Structure formats: structure tokens, C-alpha cells
Structure 1
């Protein structure tokens, strides 16, 4: 069986590729940039233009669509690009779409586009599985806890996260690839729901930092949605690696 990983040079794509080294799959990768590890067949493709997509999906049984663009050309990549890919993937057996917990509740443009992409896939004839994950440990740390200001983490500390290890989610996607298409399946959440302030205190303690935590409140619906935990799912604590364990191992 042959599997295609799109976005093979991104964080999730590279992590999936690493897990494929010991799998029974024949592996094919596609992206705009060449991967550093050229152990597998690689095909150039561009979701913006459609260039290379036909060659990328040729003779493929399963696709894990890890390609994403939260900042630049988001609508063209997330929605139009997915539509281009699906139009060329009518004969595959299983299309796996990694998504994000809370995209139907959180008023953020990128999330709205991911939700629109989910609907596009659900209305297509392509056999598929959609699985939402909570934010990755590394994403939360990089976005909020990477650059203290005057020895302080200035953060909206009361907002909640249920962050998850990207390696565990990548492994979960590969396990789903061996099963029948499920449509929308259970979310994949981290083991703990904690506030950003608690996460900052963990980092300070583990690294013996002299930094302090300064909590700030923000206006608007976006802040409120995170404050209310719309980006979490307490009934799906599937991941095993906690944020504290991630910090100790990185």
C-alpha cells in the first residue's frame, strides 16, 4: 500500500515521515520545498496553482494531508488548495485530514477556513477521516513562552490549553490510515487541561529561570473563547505526554 504525505517539510509532515521509517507502507512525499531527508520518493507540488498534484497522487492509496498555511495565503491553501487536491484524488482509498479542536467555536480566520475545509471534504465523494487535535506543546511554548519581556512572561495567563505531543498525534494518524474511513472521528487531546499561567510556571521551575509571570486580560470574542476552553475537549484526553514532560525532554 502506498501513502502520500502532503506538507512533508512542515512540523507535522516531518514527524509523520519519521514514524513511517518502520512501517510497511511504500512512502511518497510532496511539498513545495525538498525535504532534508530524501530517503523517500518526493514530488514537487503547489496547492496554490495545482502544479504537480496529479503526479503526487498517482498510484497512491492513502493521503495524509498535513499541508497547511496559517499565516500566508491561508484561504488559497486551506480551501482552494484542498479542492484542487480532492479533484485529483477521486480514486484513493482513504484521505486523512488533520484538523483542530474548537474551529467551529473560535472566531479566528484560520480556524474558520479549516472548518470550511472540513465541510468541503465531508461533501466530497472521497473516502475520508477528519480528526481534530488540540494545540501542539511546541506551538504553545513558541507562541507564548519563548520571549520573556524584562524577565517577565507577559501572557493572557487565564486562557486554557490541552496541548498534545506532535509525535503522538502523528502516530495516531498512521494508525487511522490502517482503518476504514470514518468521516469525522474522535478528537485527539492532550492529557491535561491547564492555564497558560500554569504552563509558564512549569517552564520557570524546570529551567530554574528568574522570570516572573504577568497576567493580562484581553478584550474580544477570541480571548473569551480560549478563556472558556473552546480549544479543549475534556472527554478526549488521548495523549500521554504532558506539557511538563515535553519541557523536561526538550
Structure 2
């Protein structure tokens, strides 16, 4: 078994990854700013040298839509080089980061390029949006009398648990490079997902309306840049997610 670091190990995805790695017998170090054992601030790199010492694998789940992912991975790469023992840095990215010109996506794509140019062994997995992201979007839109959502945008939500399973499989000392993308088992428009969620939560009478937006990022989503129809390997459905969330 390996010593594995998980950045963002207290987040939704990171927690699930840590659980699976420990169940498989790995020595897991959970990295976050408030970790009692390995407090690390990726914004300035503090604590990284102690955390990476002797580790073979890093699973990089930490990310922020508010920015700073590129700076964080630079600190992580530098620490992994200094450690001299890291043979595989596993990164979770997003389907479409290279074709949908959204600011957050551009940063994720830059992180991919920094990793590939680092000289370290890397594994990159792109996935579609998580179920909880779609649910939060619908919940936010449903606060208004009419549920307004971008029209013509299809989404292929994937289960966090399925992604965690895949990352745990990839968290081995041998890097795999860019692996096949991973998406959920169903593709529907945002309006269709909203109707499913509203019906499941007893709000079926709410009116759902598509809103046409402007901009290149929106056009990228309408073209399906965020989808991976041929790699719908996730098993968990949105209906199952809603049922579990309801419980």
C-alpha cells in the first residue's frame, strides 16, 4: 500500500476519496487548512513540505471557483519535486475545460497544462458536473416565482461516489496520463432536470422557463462542450441522488 495525500480532503469529493483509500489499506494524509495532522495552505504553500515528505501519490481535489487554482498547483508541484518520492499526481478536472470559455474552466485547463509540463508523473481525470451542483442551481432558481434556467443547455450529472471510486482506482504509484473522461448515465436539459427535481420535492406546479443568454461560454454549453456521451460510465442517477438527499 502507498502513502497518499488528498488535497481538499475534507470537501465533498475529498472526503469520499479518503474513505475509499483508507478502506483499501492506504496510509492517507488529509490536507486542508484546518487539518489537525497536516494543516496546509495551498495559497502560499505553507505546510506542504511536511505533508509531501515520503508520499508516493497525491490526489488533488482542492479547487475554488473564486480563483487561485493555478497558484495552488504550482506550490504543489514544487513541493512534490522537493520531496522526490511522488510518482503520481492525480488531478480531477472538468469535461469541456478546453472548449468552453468560462473563467473557472480556463483556470482548470491551465492547471492541467502545468501538471503535464511539470516533469512529474501525472494522471488527469475529467468528469461532468456533480449531481449536487445541478441540484443547487435548481434550488437557487426555484427561489423565484418562475424557475428561470439557461435554455438549450444539456447536462450529464455524475455521482460524487462514482467519481471517488474512479479516483481511488487511479491513486496508484504508476501514472496514467490523461485517462478517458467520465460522465453520468443520463443527458437532459437543465429544464428537464429542474422538472425532475421539483416533482421529487413536491413542487411540481412550479413553472420552469428557459432563458436565452449571451456570451461565448453559454454558446459553448449549448454546443455540448460539457458533455461526454460516449463515456457515460457513472452508475448513480439523479433520481437516486434526490432520494438519498431527501432522506
Q: Please, what TM-score do these two structures have when normalized by structure 2?
A: 0.92
Indicate the residue corresponding to 1:51 in structure 2: 46
Deviation at 1:179, TM superposition (A): 6.7
Counterparts of 1:113 and 1:150, CA distance in 2? 31
Indicate the residue corresponding to 1:27 in structure 2: 28
Tell me if 1:229 matches 2:224: yes
Note the residue ranges of structure 2 that are not aligned, 5 or more in a row. none
Tell me if 1:82 matches 2:73: yes
Counterparts of 1:144 and 1:205, CA distance in 2? 12
Note the residue ranges of structure 1 that are not aligned, 5 or more in a row. none
Counterparts of 1:152 and 1:43, CA distance in 2? 46
Number of residue pairs matched?
Answer: 240
Indicate the residue corresponding to 1:8 in structure 2: 9
Q: Which runs of 4+ in 1 moved over 3 A?
A: 144-147
Q: Deviations over 1:37-96 (max 9, x none)?
A: x7xxx301111111101011011111000111111xx1xx31122111111112212110
Counterparts of 2:244 and 2:43, CA distance in 1? 37
Counterparts of 1:13 and 1:137, CA distance in 2? 16
Tell me if 1:131 matches 2:120: no
Counterparts of 2:225 and 2:160, CA distance in 1? 20
Counterparts of 1:219 and 1:45, CA distance in 2? 40
SS for the counterpart of 1:64 is: strand
Greater CA drift, 232-241 or 5-14: 5-14
Counterparts of 1:16 and 1:152, CA distance in 2? 38
Q: Deviations over 1:150-185 (max 9, x none)?
A: 443211142110110011101100011137311111
Q: Deviations over 1:213-242 (max 9, x none)?
A: 121111111111111111011111010112
> Given that residues 157 and 186 in structure 2 are in contact (C-alpha distance below 8 angstroms), is that contact kept between their aligned partners in structure 1?
yes
What value does the CA root-mean-square deviation take over the aligned residues?
A: 1.5
